[in-house]
Amino acid sequence: MDYLSKLEVELKIRGMSNNTIDNYVRNTKLFLDHVNKHPSKINEDDIKAYQAYLMYEKKINAKTINLILSSLKFFFGEILGNDITARIKRPKFEKKIPVTLSKNEIKKLLESIKNIKHRILLELLVSSGLRVSEAVSLRVEDIDFDEKTIHVKSGKGNKDRKTIISSSILKLINEYLDSRKRDSEYLFEKKVGHIGVKLPQLVIKEAAKKAKIRKKVSCHTLRHSFATHLLNEGVDIRLIQVLLGHSDISTTQIYTQVSTEQIKKIKNPFEKI
């Protein structure tokens, strides 16, 4: 068994998500191809040189480089038993305030979509806060139509959670299930298994264009909007953390920076001077 196969097997044993497995194996392969040395001969300087190459020649952003370093740390530490990345300083990246959509913008975005399957896909992202990978792989049995909840199984970090779903989208889902010709365990089925993440990415770009939304909109924008509007409605940030599946509250706290409704409620102490 070669080193990359060993890496893939170990990641599966650890219960990593398919996305993490794909990223770690791909990042490690690209590094090994670039260095062109036997893994046992690679040292810390080789990784530093690769990091510099990515930053200054390939112009790769800090967040992606940190993911690559995490991949190499796992490979050298867990597969080769020699973590040569331990002393390498990781680049810091700015936590930018996420782009969000107003309720009116969300309404226009959804109304621009005529295909019921595509509309359900985007409504799930914005009304349940699902990651795009979670939405495309959603099973019908994981939707509780009575409780109005979704059981997200093996989300990021291989953790299960529950989130909410609106009555309006449940109605659409029922209509879609009654009309579709192919029976499948997945909500967004194809001949074999479920659709991939490229479809919703294409759908949202086209919808934003039709709705004339000038912001840079992506699937994750809808998840950001879900969290921000919950915060605007006064939902406790710890509950939002649970709905989003964040392991660290600091990740959720970024939304406090974009909640304009919360900001407007703050009484200025110098108002009456």
Three-state SS for 20-65 is HHHHHHHHHHHHHHHHCCCHHHCCHHHHHHHHHHHHHCCCCCHHHH
Look at residue 1 and tell me whether its pLDDT is greater than 90: no
Look at residue 209 and tell me whether its pLDDT is greater than 60: yes
Tokens 């939405």: give the residue: 135
Between the two ends of the chain, the Cα-to-Cα distance in Å is 75
Look at residue 264 and tell me whether its pLDDT is greater than 90: no
DSSP string, the chain: --HHHHHHHHHHHTT--HHHHHHHHHHHHHHHHHH-S-GGG--HHHHHHHHHHHHHTS---HHHHHHHHHHHHHIIIIISS--TTTTPPPPP---PPPP---HHHHHHHHHT---HHHHHHHHHHHHH---HHHHHT-BGGGEETTTTEEEE-S-GGG--EEEE--HHHHHHHHHHHHH-SS--SBSSB-SSSB--THHHHHHHHHHHHHTT--S---HHHHHHHHHHHHHHTT--HHHHHHHHT-SSHHHHGGGGGT-HHHHHTSPPTTTT-
Which residues touch 251 (CB under 8 Å, ≥6 apart)? Answer: 241
Query: What integer is the mean pLDDT of 196-223?
Result: 93
Query: What integer is the mean pLDDT of 136-155?
Result: 90
This prediction's pTM: 0.68
Residue 211: pLDDT band (50, 70, 90) is very high
Mean pLDDT, the chain, as a whole number? 88
- Catalytic residue positions, numbered: 131, 156, 220, 223, 246, 255
Query: What integer is the mean pLDDT of 165-178?
Result: 94
Domains of the chain and CATH, by start: 3-79 (1.10.150.130), 103-264 (1.10.443.10)
- 116 within 8 A of 176, measured Cβ to Cβ: yes
Q: Which residue has the higher pLDDT, 159 or 262?
A: 159
pLDDT at 116: 94
Phi (first) and psi of residue 171, to 5 degrees: -65, -45
